Amino acid sequence: MKELRKNIKYLLGIMVICFILLTVYLVYDAVIWGNRWLNSPYNPRLQQQRATVIPGNIYDRTGKLLVGTNKNGKRTYLEYKNQRYSMCHIIGDTRGLCATGVESTYAATLLGYNASFLSTMKQFIQQTPVTGNNVTLTADETLCTTAYKALDGKKGAVVLINYKTGEILAMTSTPGFDPKNIDDADLSDSSSVLVNRAIQGRYVPGSIFKVITLASALENGISPSWSYDCDGNLELSGDTITCPSAHGEMTLEEAFAQSCNCAFAKLGCTLGASKLVKTAEGTGIFQENMYKDFTLYASKIAIGAGSRQSEIGWAAIGQDKDTVTPLGMCMIAGGIANGGMMKEPRLVKTSGLDMSTLTSALQDTRIMSSSVAKSLKSMMRTVVEEGTGTRAAVDGVTVCGKTGTAEVGGSRNPHAWFIGFVEESEHPLAIAVVVENGGSGGRVAAPIAKKVLEKAINSGY
Amino acid sequence: MTNIGKRSGMMFFLVAVLEIIGFGLLAISQEGSIDYQALIVLGLSLILLMFQYWVIPQIFHHADRQVMVIVNLLMAVGLIFQYRLSTSTAYKQVICCTLGIVAMLITMQLILKNVFKRRYALIYMIFGVAMVAITLVLGRVIGGAKNWISLSETLSVQPSEFAKVVLVIILALWLRESRSFRQLIPMFAYVFICVCLLVVARDLGAALLFFGTFLMMLFVATSNLFYVSAGLGALALGGIASYHLFDHVRTRVSVWLNPWTQVNDGGYQIVQGLMAIVSGGMFGTGIGLGSPRYIPAYRTDYIFAVVCEEMGVLSGIILIGFYVILVVRGAIIARRAINAYHALLALGSTVMIALQSFIIIGGVIKLIPLTGITLPLVSYGGSSMVVTFMLIGILQAVAEASGREASAYLDEEEEDEEE
């Protein structure tokens, strides 16, 4: 009986722990997932609310009305087609088809579902129709439209962020759709117009991945004077990595400026898989990130402890199995510009009465030491000044960057990439451009980056 | 006793206040007219409450008041929500509660008179297996599980529910004295057969409940960690085997891992439940202002999600707290029991109710895979309500017996002093 009583005590402990677990998980559901589930396009409560409520407006950061509601309760959009297409993925649509837009992710706010008790009471007493709350984006419509025009009908994405605050100034993904005529859009198209390529597109990075390889090398004590003699071919465990031509004897900086594949494959093998993966994963983009305003898909680096030399070599130059998202690479570029400190991205400046977007602390991630960031910065400056990225140079400021021409196999054209930033801290801009099967990064992506950066600097960012 | 009596009087009063506010709000929620039906159900609920406060203590002096208060609180939440969901089910729920209270009193009397004897254990076992098996033969499928038997157009019962009470009694009778492996074999066989039948009937929640209760009671009675780990191993093996054998088990698991990929399909119910829970925020939309009807089984298995939507996540936490208090009281009663048999009875009932609420709440909030069972005392359902009250009856009988013995002992001491 004594034993029995003791056991009852133990069992009670176990049961109470189980119930505490229930409580903790319930709070976890509500706090971590609450907003996402509430705003889910599958939530019938919001669609029900839509029938009776005048939804709030959506503004861009300059206060320009992007989406409003007319007298008949229909959503109104911007006048020109280019404007509507350029922001379609960050605005979304009322049917929740493009789930990355604020129409979906902030549906509860726009529809006044989680309005404060006081404002609900006020509307009830004054007998005014219930109106939702407004949402102001961090993006600037003119920059998005510039980026959209610069992409010129090609498939791809452009992301421009303020690397000091993490605000997304422009995010355009093509092809897009017209939110005004979403019902008529051809959604069966294989080009998947509803996908926001900037955060959901996973592309082979090609040479822009060398930024990560280089950061890892510098972090791990390989000196910038490390040199390599490129003869155009590098044999690695039975596989051959090639350069378009023999670059000859080069330092690390020159190899980076000329984007020499052999040198970086060799560098990757010297580092080894674990160090390379450690630096890459330290950036945080190689896991799925659920930011407040959207979810950034996970990038992928497919090497590990048991990888063969050739696999490490390919991974170090961003070919084969690596994939990255445009925003992820843009954030890394911004992190380098910001002395190794990467900012959490934001798409919404203010929403309704919720001041938390203004005040809540951004999650900073140190992705590399400031001295490594400084060396990288100067090497990326050389790329734009005299290397493969000269077409991204903008008059009056110093642009640093890296081009990428990512082979995608078969006879298809490679993806054209450019990531970079403006060095001057008065213009804290970081950019990533990808053009699907666009060809050479230096010839196709860099000029797009130049156009968008020029427009942003002229607009005073 | 008097002190506790006064305190619990206050608590009973608060339950009454909860019912008055709840039904009062529902009565005036329609604009312009008062819903008198709500007041009728309120009156009936108050009668049930008063009966338990005044009459039961007259017969059973030592029945645990705190357990009674918690039972009534949960019952009140259930009644208010059943009324909010539909008037006719609220009336039925009142009838179920009344039947439950009667069943509770009968169970108490049976336990106190020591009707159940070890030598008849085989008969109880056959009865228990029959209860589970009969549903397999005659039952019809509701909500994917075959656990209902229709007696007429409007009345159907779930005999497997009653097998829960039988299980607790058999386990207590058996484990009171038999602890060696050879002696335990018939009991292992009994539990094995019941669980297998339940799995075949697709009533996974009940199967888990039976096995969990069995394991916990086995541990308490024998303190044998080998049995428990073997049991857990068997559970894992059984889980893996049924995962590979049965389609519906595979569906459950994949839906649990990611319901959002099957929103309009297998994951519909759990996704609707999750969205309902978070749609109310911390404080809820207010009673009557949510949209519970989107959730399948909103009256029964998913009542917790409905409560969370309309009264807030905070109320959900409080509801969990009520079950914790019930479990703690149950454990205290078990520790004070007069003998091992009573201790095991009280513990078995407590574990059964605790595990059942854990399994369904955990399933609804996606902590564990969802298996459909009712939330004790809150969900709509006659069989479940009556059986839960019978378990409470067992618990109260144990409290009553130990209380009687203690007061008899005190009386003796007083007499000694007088001498």
Average pLDDT over residues A264-274: 87
Q: Confidence band (pLDDT; 50, 70, 90) for A357? A: very low
Interface test with chain B among A3, A9, A25, A45, by most B beta carbons within 10 Å: A45
Range in A231-240, A407-416, B380-389 the model is least confident about: A231-240
Range in A67-71, A127-131, A204-208, A333-337 the model is least confident about: A127-131
Q: Is B173 on the interface with A (CB under 8 A)?
A: no
- Portion 313-332 of B in contact with A at CB < 8 A: 313, 316-317, 320, 323-324, 327-328, 331
Nearest CB neighbour to A8, from listed B220, B317, B365 = B220
Q: Which helix (H) or strand (E) holds B189?
A: helix B181-200
**Closest residue by Cα to residue A323 from A435, A222, A201:** A201
- Measure in Å the smallest separation between the Cα of A113 and chain B Cα atoms: 9
At A333 the pLDDT is 92
CA angle at B297 for the pair B294 and B301, rounded to the nearest 5°? 130
Nearest CB neighbour to A40, from listed B275, B308, B361 = B275
Q: Is B361 on the interface with A (CB under 8 A)?
A: yes
Q: Is A246 on the interface with B (CB under 8 A)?
A: no
At B1 the pLDDT is 44
Taking an 8 Å cut-off on Cβ atoms, the answer to whether A4 and B340 are in contact is yes
Strand-pair partners of A131: A54
CA A418 – CA A404 distance, rounded (Å): 6
A-chain residue closest to B216, CA distance: A11
Taking an 8 Å cut-off on Cβ atoms, the answer to whether A33 and B278 are in contact is yes
DSSP class of residue A65? E
Q: Is pLDDT of A51 > 90?
A: no
How much helix, strand and coil, in percent to the nearest 5, is found in chain B?
75, 5, 20
Taking an 8 Å cut-off on Cβ atoms, the answer to whether A29 and B277 are in contact is yes
At B151 the pLDDT is 59
B-chain residue closest to A45, CA distance: B291
The tokens for B79 are: 């009644």
At A120 the pLDDT is 61
Interface test with chain B among A3, A6, A23, by most B beta carbons within 10 Å: A23
Q: Which helix (H) or strand (E) holds B122?
A: helix B121-138
Contact list in B for residue A33 (CB cut-off 8 A) is: 274, 278
Q: Which helix (H) or strand (E) holds A230?
A: strand A227-230
- Measure in Å the smallest separation between the Cα of B133 and chain A Cα atoms: 30
Contact list in B for residue A37 (CB cut-off 8 A) is: 274-275, 277-279
Q: Is A290 on the interface with B (CB under 8 A)?
A: no
Q: In degrees rounded to 5, what are phi and psi of residue B275?
A: -65, -35
Interface test with chain A among B274, B294, B322, by most A beta carbons within 10 Å: B274
Are A419 and A208 contacting, i.e. CB atoms less than 8 angstroms apart? yes
A-chain residue closest to B290, CA distance: A45
Q: Is B262 on the interface with A (CB under 8 A)?
A: no
- Measure in Å the smallest separation between the Cα of A2 and chain B Cα atoms: 9
Taking an 8 Å cut-off on Cβ atoms, the answer to whether A22 and B361 are in contact is yes
Are A330 and A359 contacting, i.e. CB atoms less than 8 angstroms apart? no
**pLDDT tens digits for range B304-354:** 999 999 888 999 999 999 999 999 999 999 999 999 899 999 999 999 999
Nearest CB neighbour to B279, from listed A4, A15, A38 = A38
Q: Is B286 on the interface with A (CB under 8 A)?
A: no
Which amino acid is it at A344? E
Contact list in B for residue A12 (CB cut-off 8 A) is: 327-328, 331
What are B257-260's contacts with CB under 8 Å, separation 24+? B259/B366, B260/A40
Which amino acid is it at A268? G
A-chain residue closest to B264, CA distance: A42
Average pLDDT over residues A81-106: 85
Are B94 and B79 contacting, i.e. CB atoms less than 8 angstroms apart? yes
CA B263 – CA A415 distance, rounded (Å): 35
At B261 the pLDDT is 79
Nearest CB neighbour to A8, from listed B279, B317, B343 = B343
Q: Which helix (H) or strand (E) holds A419?
A: strand A415-422
Q: Confidence band (pLDDT; 50, 70, 90) for A117? A: low
Nearest CB neighbour to B328, from listed A3, A12, A27 = A12
Average pLDDT over residues A125-140: 79
With a CB cutoff of 8 Å and minimum separation 6, the contacts of A20 are: none
Query: Got the DSSP string for A74-133?
Result: -EE--SSHHHHHHTHHHH--TTSSSTTSHHHHTHHHHTTTT--HHHHHHHHHHTPPPB--
Q: Is B192 on the interface with A (CB under 8 A)?
A: no
Task: Give the burial class of A362: count Cβ atoms within 10 A of its Cβ; 0-12 exposed, 13-18 middle, 19 or more buried.
Answer: middle
Q: Is A34 on the interface with B (CB under 8 A)?
A: yes
Query: Got the DSSP string for B218-280?
Result: HHHHH--HHHHHHHHHHHHHHHHHHHHH-HHHHHHHHHHH-GGGGTTTTTHHHHHHHHHHHHT
HEC-encoded secondary structure of A329-394: HHHHHHHHHCCCEECCCECEEEECCECHHHHCCCCCEECCCHHHHHHHHHHHHHHHHHCCCHHHCC
Contact list in A for residue B271 (CB cut-off 8 A) is: 40, 42
Nearest CB neighbour to B324, from listed A16, A44, A48 = A16
DSSP class of residue B116? -
**pLDDT tens digits for range B74-123:** 999 999 999 988 888 899 999 999 999 999 999 999 999 988 888 888 89
Instruction: Number of A to B CB contacts under 8 A, please give it.
Output: 112
Q: Is A71 on the interface with B (CB under 8 A)?
A: no
At A181 the pLDDT is 77
A90: region left, alpha or beta (phi > 0 left; psi from -120 to 50 alpha): alpha
For A346-355, letters b (16+ CB in 10 Å) and e give bbbbbbbebe
Which amino acid is it at B7? R
Are B173 and B187 contacting, i.e. CB atoms less than 8 angstroms apart? no
Taking an 8 Å cut-off on Cβ atoms, the answer to whether A45 and B274 are in contact is no
Q: Is B216 on the interface with A (CB under 8 A)?
A: yes
At B185 the pLDDT is 87
Average pLDDT over residues A338-351: 87
Q: Tell me how far CA of residue B328 lies from CA of A347, B313, B324, B354, B410, in angstroms.
A: 48, 23, 6, 10, 26
Residue ranges of chain B whose pLDDT lies below 70: 1-7, 31, 139-156, 178, 416-419
Residue with tokens 């005040």: A359
Are B34 and B43 contacting, i.e. CB atoms less than 8 angstroms apart? no
Q: Is pLDDT of A188 > 80?
A: no
**What ipTM was reported for this prediction?**
0.91
**Furthest C-alpha separation in chain B:** 79
Residue-averaged pLDDT of chain A:
85
Q: Is pLDDT of A82 > 80?
A: yes
